[in-house]
Amino acid sequence: MGSGSWSTNVYDAAARYRAASGSGAFAYSDHVTGSSPRSSWTAHPSLDPKNITLRESRDSAEHPTSLAIAVLFDVTGSMRTVPQVLQTKLPELFGLLLRKGYTEHPQVMFGAVGDATCDRVPLQIGQFESDNRMDDDLGNILLEGGGGGQMSESYELALYTMARHTALDCHDKRGRRGYLFLIGDEMPYGKVKAREVWDVLGERIPQDIPITDIVAELQRTYHVHYILPAGSSYVGNTEVLGIWRKLLGQNVIELDDLDAVCETIALTVGLGEEAIDLAAGLADLADVGSAAGDSVSKALAGLDRGRDGAARGSALAVSDAPLTDGDAGPATTTRL
């Protein structure tokens, strides 16, 4: 995937068509949740993990230096509004990435995370796209709004899928990692459970994998960031933040305004690609008329100061964290 180019005109035309026809931006979710019992809900075929062998971000004549950017968000509880905000802000994201020169050939993937212990659709994974088909992927996401209520969701299953089922030319050809943004407000479970990999992805693995191991594996190919936005259930929760900081170090971003999420992602990529420093990025926001500057400035201050070490995180200490597997007490972890 990844052919074509993003067009704000095409995006605006699609929005006008939906408005005229009375349909929403998330038509698949509206149809499924409005016309069928929860017991029959399924992921859209284009996003169903069981249909995934590999999601690829590849170079082409049109995009010779592709850069993979994946955005996965929790759609349980209060977090189910996140994709709606992302959908309305896509032009701002691409305007900054492209017009301001943060990267020439971004290829963006969207996906959604729930809870494999209780949700009907705990994982949805799109394609890496360079054009407006990424808006289609967003529109096909099922906004289940479930979750288990135990302050954990199946983020680790999403991280496993990104580590084992994606291929990036930016990394394989040029030794440059892609970017993964996980937007949520709860903790991961302490391990990737083999039975859930089979249930959700239809794949056999020989044993459970401690989350520290899968994060370390994933960080070989991605700069991994966790964004905790305002308005979520556990915003400011020290336990949630502590777990993620042990896993990802300075790559944990507290965002006080969900409406600033696309600008935050764009500037994080700009910082990582060394296209800007934070001051230049904030000037770019002002130049395009964005009101997100104050929120982005606070969110990325620590990342800007510690850019060299941020991508490494501090996973060495995570074995001391009280992660649980959700159904069997404390999870076994391995020091990396």
Residue ranges of E strands in the chain: 55-57, 67-74, 106-113, 123-125, 152-153, 166-168, 178-183, 187-188, 191-192, 209-210, 222-229, 252-255
Beta bridge partners of 285: none
Question: What pLDDT was estimated at residue 311?
Answer: 38
**pLDDT 10s per residue in the chain (336 long)?**
556 887 887 888 888 878 888 878 788 888 888 888 888 899 999 999 998 889 999 999 999 999 999 999 898 876 777 888 888 888 788 889 988 999 999 999 999 999 999 999 999 999 999 888 888 888 899 988 776 667 889 999 999 999 999 999 999 999 999 999 999 999 999 999 999 999 999 999 999 999 999 999 999 999 999 999 886 655 556 889 999 999 999 999 999 998 999 999 999 999 999 999 999 999 999 999 999 999 999 999 988 776 644 333 333 333 333 354 444 333 333 322
Is 8-320 a domain of CATH 3.40.50.410?
A: yes
What single string gives the DSSP state of each residue in 280-298?
HHHHHHHHTT-S-HHHHHH
Distance CA 286, CA 67 (A): 25
Burial 48-82 (b: 16+ CB within 10 A, else e): bbeebeebbbbbeeebeebbbbbbbbbbbbbbbbb
DSSP 8-class letter at 330: B
- Helical packing angle, 278-287 and 261-272, nearest 10°: 140
Question: What pLDDT was estimated at residue 230?
Answer: 81
pTM of the model: 0.88
**Which residues does 143 contact at the CB level (< 8 Å), separation at least 6?**
26, 29, 33, 75, 80, 83, 84, 112
What residue spans define the domains of the chain?
A: 8-320
**How far, in Å, are 1, 234, 332 from residue 239 at the CA level?**
39, 9, 18
- Reference 127, options 54, 70, 222, 55; nearest CA is 55
Query: Quick one: three-class SS letters along 302-314?
Result: HHHHCHHHHCCCC
